[in-house]
Amino acid sequence: MAKKNFILVCGGTGCESAKGDEIYRNLIKEAELQGVKDDVQIVKTGCFGFCEQGPIVKVLPTDSFYVQVKPADAKEIIAEQVIKGREVQRLLYKKDKKAQDNVKVQDIEFYQKQFRIVLRNCGVINPENIEEYIARDGYMALEKCLFELKPQQIIDIMKASGLRGRGGAGFPTGLKWETAAKVKSDVKYIVCNADEGDPGAYMDRSTIEGDPHSILEAMMIAGRAVGSNKGYIYIRAEYPLAIERLKVAIEQAKAMGLMGENILGSDFSFDVEIRLGAGAFVCGEETALLKSIEGNRGMPIPKPPFPAIKGLWGKPTIINNVETLANIPVIITKGAEWFASIGTEKSKGTKVFALTGKINNSGLIEVPMGTTLREIIFDIGGGIRGGKKFKGVQTGGPSGGIIVEKDLDTPISYESLVALGSMMGSGGMIVMDEDDCVVDVSKFYMEFCVDESCGKCAPCRIGTNQMHAILDKISKGKGEEADLDRLERIGKAMTKASLCMLGGSAANPTMGTLRHFRDEYLEHIRDHKCRAGKCKDLVVYSIDPEKCIGCGLCARKCPVPCITGEKKQPHVIDALRCIKCGECFKACKFGAVLVR
Amino acid sequence: MINCKVNGIAVQVAEGATVLEAAKKAHVKIPTLCYNPDLSPWAACGICVVKVEGGNKMLRSCCTPVMEGQSFITNDAELVEIRKTVIELILSTHPDDCLACPRNQDCELQTLAQEFGIREQSFPKRLKDLPLDDTTGSIILNPEKCVRCGRCVTVCQQMQNVWAIEFLGRGESTRIAPAADVKLGESPCIRCGQCSAHCPVGAIYENDQTREVWNALMKTGPEAKTCVVQIAPAVRVALGEAFGLPPGTDLTKKIYTALRRMGFDAIFDTNFSADLTIMEEGTEFLKRLTGAFKTGLSLATKNKSLPLITSCCPAWVDYMEKYYPDMVPNFSTAKSPQQMMGAMIKTYWAGKASVDPAKIFSVSVMPCTAKKFETHRDQTMYSSGYQDVDVSITTRELARMIKQAGIDLVNLPESEPDSPLGPYTGAGAIFGATGGVMEAALRTAYALVTGEELKFVEFTAVRGLQGIKEASVHIGGHEIRVAVAHQMGNIQEVLDQVRAARDAGKDSPWHFIEVMACRGGCIGGGGQPYGATDEIRTKRIRAIYDHDEGTEYRCSHQNPYIKKVYEEFLETPGSPKAHQLLHTHYEERPLFLK
């Protein structure tokens, strides 16, 4: 029986943790209670991307885009939309809180400049239902590769498409496949790198959660192309939902004869196993990842030999990142030319970014290569939150560098970002405003690298710690100008002499901020001042007796407490006991709390 | 062949050769720290980086294979600056107590700091105050000094296949320790000391017992000891390196003089007791062999009487007891030359010299750290009624003692050992090299079986640095197949074949197997002077064979003093008395004590 309405509930980790699952269950319950369960199909999908507005519920065919939905709203959605055929006005997306007008889905700026290849099925299909994937041309590419294309032809398509590795380094995928295909070996492996670890990045998680079959299909295509029958998905254990959906997808694919022995009756067999990582950032580095799959300590080893020649257990191994793989079925079905027509000269296709930080529309976005950072931040991202001033954007997570205002019009490509002292990385994009302190940010990223350094090579193991110690010193107002030279010296040695890219890029955030904001470092050192007020040791809170009316709110909010004063008399902060949490500053309605 | 350029100098190297090897060929030195020619590159330190023309990356020369037409720059201002920074970073995690360090003036990090003219330390110290591990009694692990170069781990796991140590912790907390953080003495460690021989700094070193020896030598009055010393075959060809002499300089007779000057009352040579070992082990072999001639080799294989496996090497004995306990019956029960000498000194010699064995302090100088453990391995090491060997010191310790005593070793007059436990044959001398025990045994076995003396005593098939060597010899109408393995990691392949044959009820591939734990045999021992490479090992081995060729007798059974010892004291090889003093037994030991 044809359903009148389809309700899509976001099932990404972000919306799930904001009671998305409860909304989903309530909708089903309400549909039953209100006697319309046959008129509506309620589906849990992958991520819609617009995480800022989550949890998101979309109703078809009206394209009603409900944002910040609560479990209690289920009753009204069923009653109004399904039964009465009216949209729930108060839940529809509006440009901002004060705006009255609802914005139609196609007019939402967040989606306007996006172009979805990787995320084509996210928010559209039920990721736990293989039939929905198949209905969207799923497994057609595999079929084509099994019965129409020779392995070399698959590789030729990949080469012609210009697809490059989305894990960060941008190595041409077709070339990698060709290398492995040429090696004679009884066993070869296809490994999916789903060890996403940059702070703030969740592109791969969302892709798997929303469209797990696309990864499996792509791995099998790769297997067909290079002559491999065995695949491993290396995914961090902190991604339980993605793991669960992969397991379901593997089971379903096997049950339908789309995976396993003699796939679709062909002579090709392929099996996929999931391997859980313990969350070490370094295991995203391909040689460390392979060591980890082998059951060894996850430490990088020198390259060459490259994994495509000698990888897992010494056998030729293709390692492709989740996003790279998700592109592949589409490239096969739509053709290399189509894919190569998108993007810039050397960077083809699209790129998914996890847009976070001080931005109005945070979320998961996919844009054609060549889109400018300004378009991403100010058009799609809706600009800086609270009307603050843009300071910089960090791409490539702890491996990237800060990109400042003057470079925002650069079209995004692998090369252009490197030229700006950053890198594509896997796609984390963190926006900073004037309230962010460059010393504090650099310290944060360096601390991440200190924690994640595997400890094998001296420049990274010691360099990250020494740099962190210096940054910490500067943030406490105890730095000296010679420390900046030390940072640059260590940074250069780490960049040049580290074994893997974790160490090789760990200095980038510091180097970038030093290049663009040296004056702020000097302010910390010479004037013991943090203009953003982030470096607690350099901040002093006091109360302006002229402005204070003695309401006592600050004293009540103070967790120490260190604010005293008679009712209706100016209050005083005991600077020695103050822990600089800033609660008083936030609480005061009269601007009487001063930060210096 | 591949063509490349190093600093503009054209070089041809074999395919797969690294940039470091190409540079060496062009007589260009690239500084290294974690690299060691014995080991596959771990690529940890980042000091050996070079540039390749046309590329913007720096490459690690130790592990990067050369590609056709590449042109490398190994030295420019930027490279020197980067290397210097990395050295300073490493120094910032390394204590500054060089003056009190066992590796003072023999330390690769110290040398780098000196060569790079480090005059100030730009970065504050980040030290970890980690506890010392001295639980093996043979080697001491001081994690505080460790530079995490990974050599010891690679040695222990890949070269020796022992897996006693591992990296624990991550990032700055990375450190070297046995798995599960047990102590070394509770781990599978076999005390071979190869980690200490490969450590570039003072993080793993031999347990220095020189003070105990000095104390014994200097006791006077009623406390005074009769101090007796023996030196092992491999010590004499390596000690000179610690005195600036070329590797392979044979110092046998100068060492005797030095030991006398240090105050030892009697100087004996372990080469003599090596002859004794051959008499006992050779007899044991013949007995097992004749048995097998009657029953057939497959039965002898099944009941573990053949192949006979040598047991002179204490690290190997430890390994076998931990990893191959099912082969205990295959092991020769003959004690090692060190322990035979110890037993003879406190019984036979004590009687002859009318010295109370309780007053004898018996020292051995060995190329080996495991020998320290062997002196008290089990009750059979007390066969004289006392600890047969009181202290075993390494070649490195002897070098220090000679220097402390102010003895000008290089220019010393030569002298002879004391008799009757001194004079030896060439067969005893070659115990110091891989294949030597086998060759010595074959020389005597031939004579014992056939009643004839060999015309050509040299079995060259069992010599050299190849990891596993095989040979077959015809003795009295029988074909005897032998195998020789050295460097612990090579043993598994041999023993697994024996096991497989045994389990399948087939003939063992070999009748007799010699095993030494260290690469090249004892000449490459864990207690030898630092910096052994295959080039140096080859020179030491050459010196051993030269020594053999210069001896009057080449076969142990020809040694007139050996004959005398049996006539006067031991009766016959394998006699009850010989068994009581010169044989031992083995048992299964757990890999981990906890």
CATH numbers and ranges of domains, chain A: 5-105 (3.40.30.10), 130-340 (3.40.50.11540), 350-433 (3.10.20.600), 438-527 (1.20.1440.230), 540-595 (3.30.70.20)
Asked whether residue B226 carries a pLDDT value surpassing 60, the answer given is yes
pLDDT digits (tens, 9 = 90+) for B5-19: 999 999 999 999 999
What are the tens digits of pLDDT across the range A326-365? 999 999 999 999 999 999 999 999 999 999 999 999 999 9
SS3 A282: helix
From chain B, pick out residues whose CB is under 8 angstroms from the CB of A301. 43
Q: Say yes or no for a CB contact (<8 Å) between A497 and B93.
A: no
Q: Which DSSP symbol is given to B336?
A: P
C-beta atoms of A486 and B123 within 8 A: yes
Question: According to the model, what pLDDT value does residue A100 have?
Answer: 67
| A45 or A320, higher pLDDT | A320
A497·B82 Cβ contact <8 A: yes
Provide, as residue numbers in chain B, all residues whose Cβ is less than 8 Å from the Cβ of A479: none
pLDDT in tens, A99-133: 667 777 778 888 888 999 999 999 889 999 999 99
Query: Which chain B residues are Cβ-neighbours of A306 within 8 angstroms?
Result: none
- Examine the pLDDT at B593 and tell me if it is beyond 50: yes
**How does pLDDT run across A469-516, given as a tens digit for each residue?**
999 999 999 999 999 999 999 999 999 999 999 999 999 999 999 999
Taking the Cβ of residue B172 and every Cβ of chain A, the question of whether any pair is shorter than 8 Å is answered with: yes
Q: Which CATH number does B2-75 carry?
A: 3.10.20.740
- Average pLDDT on B155-163 reads 96
Residue A379 binned pLDDT confidence (cut-offs 50, 70, 90): very high
Nearest to B369 by CA among B182, B590, B97, B184: B184
Six token digits for residue A312: 């897992």
Do residues B288 and B508 make contact, with C-beta atoms less than 8 angstroms apart? no
Residue with tokens 């190569």: A340
What average pLDDT does range A201-214 have in this prediction?
94
Q: Domain B221-272+338-411 is of which CATH architecture?
A: 3-Layer(aba) Sandwich (3.40)
Q: What is the mean pLDDT of chain A?
A: 92
Tell me the average pLDDT across A366-384: 94
Interface of B with A in 137-166 (CB under 8 A): 147-148, 150, 166
Task: Find the angle CA(A511)-CA(A512)-CA(A514) to the nearest 5 degrees.
Answer: 65
pLDDT value for A586: 87
- Taking CA atoms, what residue in A is nearest to B84? A493
- Locate CATH 3.40.950.10 in chain B: 276-336+425-582
**Which whole-number Å values give the CA distances from A172 to A348, A423, A482, B518, in the listed order?**
10, 16, 42, 47
Minimum CA–CA partner of B94 in chain A: A462
Three-state DSSP class for residue B362: strand
What does the pLDDT look like over B369-415, one tens digit per residue?
999 999 999 999 999 999 999 999 999 999 999 999 999 999 999 99
Distance separating alpha carbons of residues A271 and A99, to the nearest angstrom: 53
**Residue A432: enclosing H or E segment and its boundaries?**
strand A428-433
Provide, rounded to the nearest whole percent, the portion of chain B with pLDDT above 70.
100
**What SS3 string covers B555-591?**
CHHHCHHHHHHHHHHHCCCCCHHHHHHHECCCCCCCC
CB atoms within 10 A of CB A49: 30
Omega cis (within 30) before B329: no
- CA A509/CA B294 separation, integer angstroms: 79
Cβ <8 Å between B123 and A466: yes
Class of domain B98-206: alpha beta
Q: State the nearest Cα–Cα gap between A219 and chain B, in angstroms.
A: 31
| Buried b / exposed e along A458-472 (16+ C-beta atoms within 10 A) | bbbbbbbbbbbbbbb
Omega within 30 of 0 (cis) for the link into B131: no
Backbone angles phi, psi at B168, to 5 degrees: -115, 155
Q: Among the listed ranges A29-38, A94-103, B505-514, which one has the minimum average pLDDT value?
A: A94-103
B130 touches chain A (CB under 8 A): no
Average pLDDT over residues B493-514: 95
* CA closest to A454 among chain B residues: B171
> How confident is the model over A221-235, as pLDDT tens digits?
999 999 999 999 999
pLDDT single digits (tens) B90-131? 999 999 999 999 999 999 999 999 999 999 989 999 998 899
Angle at A204 between CA A457 and CA A206, to 5 degrees: 145
- Whole-angstrom distance, CA of residue A142 vs CA of residue A163: 18
Q: How confident is the model at residue B475 (pLDDT cuts 50, 70, 90)?
A: confident
Give exposure, A389-415, as e/b (b: 16+ Cβ within 10 Å). ebbbbbbbbbbbbbbbeebbebebbbe
pLDDT score of A97 more than 70 = no
Mean pLDDT of B248-270: 97
Helix (H) / strand (E) element for B228: namely strand B226-231
Decide if B174 and A496 are in contact by the 8 Å CB cutoff. Answer: no
Residue among A304, A461, A492 whose CB faces B171 most closely: A461
* CB-nearest partner of B58 from A451, A457, A497: A497
pLDDT of A254 higher than 60: yes
Q: Which residues of B are less than 8 Å from A299 in CB distance?
A: 167
Q: Does A309 touch chain B (CB under 8 A)?
A: no
Nearest alpha carbon to residue B449 among B289, B294, B224, B243: B289
ipTM rounded to 2 decimals? 0.92
The kind and range of the H/E element at B546 are: helix B534-549
Q: What angle do CA A526, A527, A529 make, to 5 degrees?
A: 125
Q: Answer whether A497 touches B (CB < 8 Å).
A: yes
CATH 3.10.20.740 domain range(s) in chain B: 2-75
| CATH architecture label of B276-336+425-582 | 3-Layer(aba) Sandwich (3.40)
Instruction: Kindly report, as residue ranges, where domains of CATH 3.40.50.1780 are found in chain B.
Output: 221-272+338-411
What residue spans in chain B does CATH classification 3.30.70.20 cover?
Answer: 98-206
pLDDT at position A98 is 67
pLDDT at A112: 84
Residue A1 has a pLDDT of 45
- Which is nearest to B500 in space by CA: B510, B490, B515? B510
How far the first Cα of chain A sits from its last, in Å, is 68
A496/B49 CB distance under 8 A: yes
Question: Phi, psi at residue A314, to the nearest 5°?
Answer: 80, 5
Confidence of residue A424 (pLDDT cuts 50, 70, 90): confident
pLDDT in tens, A169-187: 899 999 999 999 999 999 9
pLDDT the model gives residue A39: 86
Contact list, B43 vs chain A (CB under 8 Å)? 301-302, 457, 499
Q: Which of B58, B126, B148 sits opposite A455 (nearest CB)?
A: B148
